[in-house]
Amino acid sequence: MRREPRTPRPGWERKVVESGLPFHTVALPGGGTRPYWNESAAYVLTSAEVEYLEDVTEELHGMCVAAARHILDRGDTARLGIHPDWVEPMRETLQDDAPSIYGRFDFAWDGTGDAKMYEYNGDVPAALLEAAVVQWEWIEDVHPERDQFNTIHERLVKAWQELTPRLGHQVHFAHSADEPDEDIITAAYLRDTATEAGLATVGLTMEDVGWHTGLERFVDVDDAPIDSCFKMYPWDWAFESGYAEQLRRAPQSTRWLEPMWKALLSTKGLLAVLWEMYPGHPNLLPSSLDGPHGLDEWVAKPLWGWEGASIKVHTHERSFEQAGPFGDGPYLWQQWHRPPSFDGNHMVIGSWVIGGRPAGIGIRESDGVVTDGTARFVPHLIDAPRSSPEQVAEWLRDH
């Protein structure tokens, strides 16, 4: 794996906006701006490295699902930041194999040694459009002869098609009116893939969702029952919402995507359970819910935090805490593992799981060792000739 400088495409800002990504440039906390979409560089991977990431992603996803079953079998959710009242509703959605679309691992890996899992967002991961579409259109323009570890779009369409018999005649797509642009864009892009798969779709905000007492159903602004709904709205928020009672009483009155049990794959507490179940696994870092347990270097992560907010880092060189709203915890302690640095750019690999299978990667990099809101998305390519459409179709059939 290597990081190579690239010359940005003429008019790259316009091209990225046309791909559906308006926030290609972000404001920095201290003033000024910086490209969020950064095509002045590209990461180059070998085919063997891609195959390794596929294998690791598939194995870890299976381990995470097994960990979720283990947690619910024991009713052991309180220490993960989830009230025990949610055990049975979550168990119902897991046992019924409720429809699920996507998730994203975050890995530290530079092509050498073992990839290390930082965390798994199995509920509402963002940066999907960048990985699925924007970087693919970049490689089409810049390196049409090269391949990319990216079957995300094709897998999304295929996943919707396979789930169609279980989703009803239409799927609602909801986001909160107060969510940032990246969440709204993620919901809109997923709606586009469902439409491409042949599903009828309806867009709304979470604030438009209501409960019809007579029907005992969630309904939209027209009082139409919501049979299936993708919600860009994390379950830990829903657990504290005004509809918590209805969600507990009738967890599958609406088929929510992602299903309720996947809250277990988004709390950082999952990392401690994984380490208890698979101690010493080469892709895991020692993790605990009750302190660093003698670790010389560690990072403390809020169980429900995001974008590095309120993270505490303790290393031999220094200790510091990121600003954020989660300082009261609770926390997960994980062995400190410095992200790979390419010329001072600290990178994290986001490995996407679509329909339960590995589908591609997106790479973000930061100046500092914590991937936060100022991180940049950098495209990648495989140092190998591009597969033909027939080869891609065959691969999707076999996987």
Q: What is the pLDDT of residues 169-206, one digit of tens each?
A: 799 999 998 877 889 999 999 999 999 999 999 999 99
Q: How far apart are CA 383 and CA 47, in angstroms?
A: 7
* CA dihedral (12, 15, 19, 20) positive or negative: positive
Distance of CA 273 to the CA centre of its chain: 19
**191-195, 354-358, 392-396: the lowest-pLDDT one:** 392-396
Helices 47-74 and 87-95, packing angle to 10 deg: 130
Domain chopping of the chain, boundaries: 2-285+337-398
Place of tokens 């001072």: 344
* DSSP, res 37: B
CB-side neighbour CA atoms (13 Å) of 280: 0
Q: Is the pLDDT of residue 398 over 70?
A: no
Mean pLDDT across 385-397: 70
Nearest to 364, CA basis, from 22, 183, 125: 125
Q: What is the pLDDT of residues 292-307, one digit of tens each?
A: 988 999 999 999 998 8
Predicted pLDDT at 278: 98
Task: Categorize the per-residue pLDDT at 217 as very low, low, confident or very high, splitting at 50, 70 and 90.
Answer: very high
The CA–CA distances, whole Å, from 247 to 209, 216, 223, 351 equal 13, 11, 18, 30
**19-33, 70-84, 245-259: the lowest-pLDDT one:** 19-33
The helix or strand, by DSSP H or E, that contains position 354, with its residue range, turns out to be: strand 345-354
Pairing of strands 217-219, 228-232: unpaired
Alpha-helical segments (H) within the chain: 12-18, 47-74, 87-95, 128-129, 135-142, 152-167, 181-196, 235-238, 244-249, 269-277, 389-398
Predicted pLDDT at 374: 84
The reply to whether omega before 84 is within 30° of 0 (cis) is no
Q: What is the pLDDT of residues 2-48, one digit of tens each?
A: 999 999 999 999 999 999 999 998 877 778 888 899 999 999 999 99
Average pLDDT score over the chain: 94
- As beta bridge partners, residue 116 has 108
Mean pLDDT across 154-168: 95
Query: Which token pair is 156?
Result: 């999304």
Query: Which token pair is 358?
Result: 């590995």
Predicted pLDDT at 187: 96
Asked if residue 175 lies in contact with residue 233, where contact means CB atoms within 8 angstroms, the answer is yes
Cβ atoms < 10 Å from Cβ of 348: 21
Predicted pLDDT at 294: 85
Pairing of strands 41-45, 380-385: parallel
Q: How far apart are CA 253 and CA 275, in angstroms?
A: 35
Task: Categorize the per-residue pLDDT at 249 as very low, low, confident or very high, splitting at 50, 70 and 90.
Answer: confident
Predicted pLDDT at 177: 86
Q: Is the pLDDT of residue 77 over 70?
A: yes
Predicted pLDDT at 180: 73
Predicted pLDDT at 251: 81
Predicted pLDDT at 262: 97
Task: Categorize the per-residue pLDDT at 395 as very low, low, confident or very high, splitting at 50, 70 and 90.
Answer: low
Q: Is the pLDDT of residue 392 over 70?
A: no
φ and ψ of 272, to 5 deg: -70, -40
Q: Is the pLDDT of residue 363 over 80?
A: yes
Q: How far apart are CA 293 and CA 273, in angstroms?
A: 15
Place of tokens 């990431």: 53
Which pTM was predicted? 0.95
Q: What is the pLDDT of residues 39-73, one digit of tens each?
A: 999 999 999 999 999 999 999 999 999 999 999 99
Predicted pLDDT at 396: 67
Q: Is the pLDDT of residue 388 over 80?
A: no
Task: Categorize the per-residue pLDDT at 399 as very low, low, confident or very high, splitting at 50, 70 and 90.
Answer: low
